[in-house]
Amino acid sequence: MRALALDVGEKRVGLARTDETGTLAVPHGVYLRVGGERDIKELARLARELGAEVLVAGLPLNMDGTEGPQAQRVRAFAEAVAKEAGLPLHFVDERWTTEEALRVLREAGLPGRKRKGKADALSAVLILQAWLERVR
């Protein structure tokens, strides 16, 4: 199944997609947010362009598993993108993905200033891979 994953942040959205076979998560870069409907329409267009059949979004839950204000904002944004794209939407707990992505990039020797954007895309890969493992 072709899927597009979003790691939604205030300034950037990390992107990952499945490979041609629909079995592996691969990075697709970072979308720099410009605000409002333009972000929703652009991400929906990208999902259609990639032939995505499902949208997966990371949900930044609180440490106790509840949804705080940030999770509610991410949920509303992802739901708007999914509605615009006409795709089903699934959420994945993303509490540790950014930290894991930064650790991997640090261990790879990537300088700090280059880590942030790459961490967003890698976080999206981790979100998508977790979802793929859950649905297998």
pLDDT digits (tens, 9 = 90+) for 23-54: 899 999 999 999 989 999 999 999 999 999 99
pTM reported for the whole predicted model: 0.90
Angle CA 108–131–41, to nearest 5: 90
> 91 by DSSP, 3-state: which?
strand
Other CB atoms closer than 10 Å to residue 27's CB: what's the count? 18
Rounded to whole angstroms, how far apart are CA atoms 38 and 44?
10
Q: Where are the alpha helices (DSSP H) in 25-136?
A: 36-49, 69-85, 97-107, 112-135
DSSP letter for 12, please. E
Set out the domains of the chain in order of their start, with CATH numbers: 3-135 (3.30.420.140)
- Report the percentage of the chain scoring pLDDT > 90: 70
Q: What is the pLDDT of residues 94-106, one digit of tens each?
A: 887 877 887 887 8
